[in-house]
Chains A and B, each alone.
Chain A
Amino acid sequence: MKPPPFDYAAPETLDDALALLAGDEDAKVLAGGQSLLPLLNFRLAAPSLLVDLRRIAELRAVGRVDGSVRIGAMVTQRAAEDDDALARDVPLLREALRFVAHPQIRSRGTVGGSVAHADPAAELPAVLVALDGRVHVRSAQAQRTIAAADLYRGFLTTSLEPGEVVTAVELPAARPGTAAVCVEVAQRAGDYAVCGALVQATRNGDAPADVRVALFGVGQRPVRARSVEERLAAGPPVPELVREAAELAADGLEPQTDRQASAAYRRHLARVLVRRGLEQALERAA
């Protein structure tokens, strides 16, 4: 299982990288390579050129801007996981990263790479969706940001145009006392989830809690469980309300039936995992 032939470049500036991508429609970005290299080894992809972003220092920066954290696309999952300040600001990120593959993969896999790869069973795209994050994108001609709600189109498909590269992932910082939980059903630790839920909860005394819920492994893309969130906005987070809200988790879902699970099973798991995630998050939230 050896890759087909391709050319390779490791430019030192983002502009050089974008120019290379603009000049060759069969060129592909190489970030961590943890998804791309297996495809190449199976000869399921045949790019003409790999543009390696590893030399571009600005893509490794982690910064704070207006209550959000901006994570350079080439920050490795391992670096993100080990970053205590990042964990304080975005607890959902560290929580989700625990479930991403294994440490040996996370040492090379990147935050931007996973977000751009758009595997609907992956945790990081779901983090972006849960938190209404956005990605910063550049091409040789222009730059823009894309909100999470507009990014994921379908299976491994985003709204990125050819020649566009994610340069940073921006996530809102959470208020102190926020709890973040990831619950999933996967046959083995580190596997892609059959179904998973991310829950972030911040208590507001007797007022309704601020809750974000996203589901992954439930169809072509990660899904924000808005029905659940809206139900929870109706009152303080008492167990009965939590159960009622969780029952709405499957609303609007169009899960796939595949070898691992039927659509019905995924809808069922969505309800169960959202309920468990809410219970755990609300218990942990200060």
Chain B
Amino acid sequence: MTSFGAAIKRKEDPRLLRGDGRYLADLKLHGMTTAAVVRSPHAHAHVVRVDLSPAQADPRCVDAIAGTDVAHLPHILCIDAEETTKPFTQPLLAVGKVRYVGEPVAIVVVDGDRYDAEDVAALVEVEYDPLPAVVDAEAAAADGAPIVHEETNVCDVLHYATGDVTAIDRAPHRLKRRFTTQRHAGTPIETRGCLVEYDPRRDQLTVRTSTQTPHGVKRGLAYHLGVPQSSIRVIAPDVGGGFGTKLQIYQEEVLMCVLARRIRRPVKWVEDRWEHFVATTHGREQFHEIEVGYDDDGVVVGVRDHAVTDTGAYLARLTLVEPFIGVAMLRGPYRIPNFEATSAIVMTNKTPMNPFRGVGHIQAAQAMDGILDEVARERGLDPVAVRLRNMLRPDELPLDIGVGNVLAGPVIYDSGDYAEGLRRAAALVGYDAFRAEQERARAEGRYLGLGIACYVEETALGPYETGTVRVEPSGEIVLLTGASSSGQGHATVLAQIVADELGVAPDDVTVVHGDTDVVRDGVGTYASRSAAIAGTAARRAGQAARRKVLTIAEHLLEASADDLVLADGTVFVAGSRERSVTLAEVASAVSPFAGELPPGVETYGIEEADVFVPPTNAFPYGIHIATVEVDVETGVVTLLTLVAVSDAGRLINPLIVDGQYHGGIALGIGGALYEEIVYDEDGQPANPNFMDYLLPGVDNIPEIRLEHLVTPTPHNPDGIKGCGEGGAIGPPAAIANAVSDALSPFGIVATRTPVTPRRVYELLVDAGVVSA
């Protein structure tokens, strides 16, 4: 029985279901103090004076710091900055100036709970001299805008050009459109938080933090604090969702370390939901002015794109990813060798942006699939047919599409059959039957629509991931992995891989992750990399452990490895089950207690470590088709079905994979119809709470039909591409396009998300369908 590919239940669940989860806010330490952060109420202001003394006078206050106390420590690092990227980096606490509502200005620590900490934080007096704020990227890039840092708000402009960039100008037809993707907040249901403890005996900080990258935080803390990495231990407890919001080291993590060392007592900070909306990185705010040149048959000759990302007030760790991916992956699965794009990164007085599930691919699909539908309408062609005409064929891959960046290298699509995906999606949605129903409905004055999004996604990023497999003399099997779970089920899927190597059940493999003292090296979980990269490291470590087991068993059973079988926790000679040893006996044979090592075995114990450096990225892809009904009297869009045909290579656990797609699709639906971070003209967040920032609920999710194609990637032995984000990529484009299709009799195109009832109403008014 192979575990790889089996839809088994998760090992993690019983504990969590009983209530034995231990998330950051659940943790308590003796002598623990509680911190609260004082944050800027202004979007843009000089900080004239910070007076901590009223807070310090409160008997509950143990410590308080402001910007000047930590000004000597380095700013938050942007690791994907190009040489041209202006260094608009963020200090740990504001000094001299605040640049967004929610920017940390001071921290108080109390001997007490969060109630006390908020009371004391309110006592800190800060005098601000407000400045005009800029909250729109185009306005920020124009002359005369308030300058967020210095000289200019244009932090960088990326340029890409490949093929013949003038081909578009000679094309028989050209269309140009702007597509706009709104600002999102990540909103995992668990907010951020950390609990830091300083141990003077080891001169070590133990940092428990709700993170996707414990090793990244460890390295970051060493950097910011100027201490050796060995003096820092980072532990990710149970993490209640990340989606990118927890993939970087944040100021609060560094600052709680500073405080814990100062007061020599544990310090706990839990972000509340209001804070999350202003203090945790946002995502997605980007528009594209995309121009396409095409021939009479709708075959695209060239694309030119100007993208602008509103990145907020400071560079964050991976600021350039959204601006890069948005243009680098713009062409999706389509054959467009003639391509030119610029991607401007503009600063505004808003919360900084960082990658958010699906990063950049969402916006790319909105623009590319949006304009392809316009091409189809202009030519009177079927949108599926136009796409099929333009799609790359399997034999054209691998394909270097002529763009790349510092972090991820060149973009080389690996493998896939995009057209087959589209054909399957069309079949799954019942395309012809839908078109017939759409026509009947129109005659009755009802407006149904269908929209398509086709994406190719860059995943499985390096730099590397680690895996160590140990077989203990007790027979226990342990996998140490650098992957770090925030709900993805790594403890189960990685166990499935190792279980196959050692002939045991997944329940017999204990997966350990999230503790940098136990898992000595690793990178973390983001960019849909864990199954592919951590999985490969686990596979290779498992294989090495298997080889050692066989070498030892050869000696114990006096047989050749070729004749040996690993199954049910034993090693036996094929065909004679009674000639067997258990894995415990095998491991005990090479314990130092056993004395001399068997021949051919050079080291004691069975512990095999692997580091997998992927040669390049993998490229899963997918086709989403959404059907909707638009109520042209109210503007309300009702989702009917969401079809997703996805190819993420081989799948370790189909149950978990389906869950990832369902969750991603729901997140995408949020972006398509409901979610938007809004700032008023003074830079005040208008909706920093769950009443006004709308996450989809159970009855906002339509029937979802999933189908999986499997085109393995050549870049890792299991052929895994990564499925964590694909679901989130297609829905905004597919749903916006469906609305445009529904309202095409009126010539309406939905070029902005979220497609709210109000936006639809205004489009209907502009088109004269509804009187104002």
Chain A residues lying within 8 Å of B560, measured Cβ to Cβ, are none
Which single residue of chain B is at the shortest CB-CB distance from A189? B699
Question: What's the minimum C-beta distance from A82 to chain B, rounded to whole angstroms?
Answer: 22
- B676: nearest chain-A partner, CB-CB: A259
Tell me which residues from 106 to 148 in chain B have a Cβ below 8 Å from any Cβ of chain A. 114-115, 118-119, 122
Q: Report whether A260 and B274 are in contact in the complex, using a CB–CB cutoff of 8 Å.
A: no
Would you give the shortest CB distance from A84 to chain B, in whole angstroms?
A: 26
> Considering only CB atoms, which chain B residue lies closest to A42 in the complex?
B274
Q: How far is the CA of A264 from the CA of B770 in the complex (A)?
A: 11
- Please state if B757 and A1 are interface contacts (CB–CB under 8 Å): no
Q: Is residue A4 contacting chain B, with contact meaning CB distance below 8 A? A: yes
B761 at the interface (CB under 8 A from A): yes
Is A259 within 8 A of B697, CB to CB? no
Q: How many residues of B contact A (CB 8 A)?
A: 33
B700 CB–A CB distance under 8 Å: yes
Determine whether the beta carbon of B761 is less than 8 Å from that of A265.
yes
Pairwise interchain contact B757-A194, C-beta atoms closer than 8 A: yes
- Of all chain B residues, which has the CB nearest A4? B119
A283 CB–B CB distance under 8 Å: no
* Min C-beta distance of A99 to chain B, whole Å: 13
Q: Is B243 an interface residue (CB 8 A)?
A: no
**With A and B bound together, what is the CA distance between A62 and B122 in angstroms?**
45
B115 contact set on A, CB distance < 8 A? 2-3
Residues of A close to B761: CB separation below 8 A = 265, 268
A5 interface residue (CB < 8 Å to B): yes
Is the CB–CB distance between A191 and B634 below 8 Å?
no
B119 A188 Cβ-Cβ under 8 A? no
- When the two chains form their complex, are residues A191 and B694 in contact, meaning their CB atoms are under 8 A apart? yes
Does B758 make an interface contact (CB < 8 A)? Answer: yes
**CB pair A262 B118 closer than 8 Å:** no
CA distance in complex: A190, B699 (Å): 11
* Complex interface residues of chain A between 215 and 271 (CB less than 8 A to chain B): 259-262, 264-265, 268-269
Within 8 A of A (CB), among B687-746: 687, 689, 691-692, 694, 696-697, 699-700
Beta-carbon contact of A187 and B770 below 8 Å: no
Pick the most buried of B686, B761, B770: most chain A CB atoms within 10 A of its CB. B761
Q: Label chain A's interface by main secondary structure.
A: loop
- Chain A residues with CB under 8 Å of B396's CB are none
* Cβ-closest chain A residue relative to B700: A188
Distance (whole angstroms) from the CB of A93 to the closest CB of chain B: 23
Answer whether residue B681 sits at the interface, using C-beta atoms and an 8 A cutoff.
no
Task: Map CB proximity to B onto A175-195 as digits: 1 under 8 Å, 0 otherwise.
Answer: 000000000010111111010
Residues of A in contact (CB 8 Å), total: 25
B231 within 8 A of A: no
A64: chain B residues at CB < 8 Å are none
Residues of A within 8 A of B273 (CB): 1
Residues B738-770 near A (CB distance < 8 A): 756-758, 761-762, 765, 770
Cα distance A185–B631 when bound, in Å? 11
**Please, how many angstroms separate the alpha-carbon atoms of A205 and B608 in the complex?**
87
Q: Are B118 and A188 in contact, CB atoms less than 8 angstroms apart?
A: no
Once the chains bind, are A185 and B636 in contact (CB under 8 Å)? Answer: yes
Given contacts A259-B678, A259-B687, contact A272 B274 (CB under 8 A): no
Count the A-B residue pairs with Cβ separation under 8 angstroms: how many? 59
**CB <8 Å contact, A2 and B757:** no
B119–A5 contact, CB under 8 A?
yes
**Residue A43 at the chain B interface, CB threshold 8 Å:** yes
Is B757 a contact of A187 with CB atoms below 8 Å? yes
Q: Is there contact, CB below 8 Å, between A185 and B119?
A: no
Instruction: Tell me if A261 and B758 are in contact (CB < 8 A).
Output: yes
Known contacts A260-B758, A272-B634; decide if A1 and B694 are in contact (CB<8 Å). Answer: no
- For B636, the chain A residues whose CB sits under 8 A away are 185
Which B residues lie within 8 Å of A264 (CB)?
A: 765, 772
* Closest-CB distance, B521 to chain A (whole angstroms): 38
Question: Are B274 and A185 closer than 8 Å at their CB atoms?
Answer: no
Our pick among B114, B122, B674, B678 for the contact of A187 (Cβ within 8 Å) is B674
Q: Which of A42, A192, A262 meets B758, CB within 8 Å?
A: A262
Nearest-Cβ distance from residue A264 to partner chain B, whole angstroms: 5
- Chain B 661-693 interface mask (CB, 8 Å, partner A; 1/0): 000000000000110001000000011010110
A43–B634 CB distance below 8 A:
no
Chain B residues positioned under 8 Å from A5 (CB to CB): 119
Residue of B nearest to A276 (CB): B633
User: Given the complex, which residues of A lie within 8 Å of B678, measured CB to CB?
Assistant: 259
From 311 to 352 in chain B, residues with beta carbon under 8 angstroms from any chain A beta carbon are none
Pairwise interchain contact B687-A1, C-beta atoms closer than 8 A: no
CB distance from A106 to the nearest CB of B (A): 16
Q: How far is the CA of A117 from the CA of B770 in the complex (A)?
A: 35
The answer to whether A272 and B633 touch (CB under 8 A), given A1-B273, A264-B772, is: yes
| Shortest CB distance B270–A (Å) | 10
**Bound Cα distance A190, B758 (Å):** 18
**Would you give the 0/1 interface string for A267-285, flagging 1 where the beta carbon is closer than 8 Å to chain B?**
0110011000000000000
B272 within 8 A of A: yes
Given the complex of chains A and B, what is the CA–CA distance between A187 and B635 in angstroms?
11
B272: which A residues are within 8 A, CB to CB?
Answer: 1
Contact of B118 among A43, A190, A194, A265 (CB under 8 A): A43
Return chain B residues, CB-CB under 8 Å to A1. Answer: 118, 272-274
Task: Give the CA-CA distance A110 to B733 in the complex, in Å.
Answer: 42
Question: Of the candidates B634, B694, B699, B765, which one forms a contact with A269 in the assembled complex, judged by CB atoms under 8 Å apart?
Answer: B634
Chain B residues near A187: list those with CB within 8 A: 673-674, 694, 756-757
| Residues 225-258 of B at the A interface (beta carbon under 8 Å) | none
Q: Which residue of B lies closest to A271 (CB)?
A: B633
With both chains docked as a complex, state the minimum distance between the C-beta of A120 and any C-beta of chain B, in angstroms: 15
- Distance in angstroms from B538 CB to nearest chain A CB is 40
Closest to A192 in B: B691
How far apart sit A43 and B122, CA to CA, in the bound complex (Å)?
A: 11
B 412-432 to A, binary, CB cutoff 8 A, 1 in contact else 0: 000000000000000000000
Q: How far is the CA of A185 from the CA of B762 in the complex (A)?
A: 16
A185–B118 touching, CB < 8 Å: no
Give 23 pairs: A residue, B residue, CB < 8 Å, sorted on A. Answer: A2-B114, A2-B115, A5-B119, A43-B122, A187-B674, A188-B694, A188-B696, A188-B699, A190-B697, A191-B691, A194-B757, A259-B678, A259-B686, A259-B687, A259-B692, A260-B756, A262-B758, A262-B762, A264-B772, A265-B758, A265-B761, A268-B761, A273-B634
Besides A3-B115, A260-B758, 8 other CB < 8 A contacts?
A1-B272, A4-B119, A188-B700, A190-B697, A192-B691, A261-B757, A264-B765, A265-B762
Listed from nearest, the 7 A-B pairs whose CB atoms lie closest are A2-B115, A1-B272, A272-B633, A265-B761, A188-B697, A261-B758, A185-B634
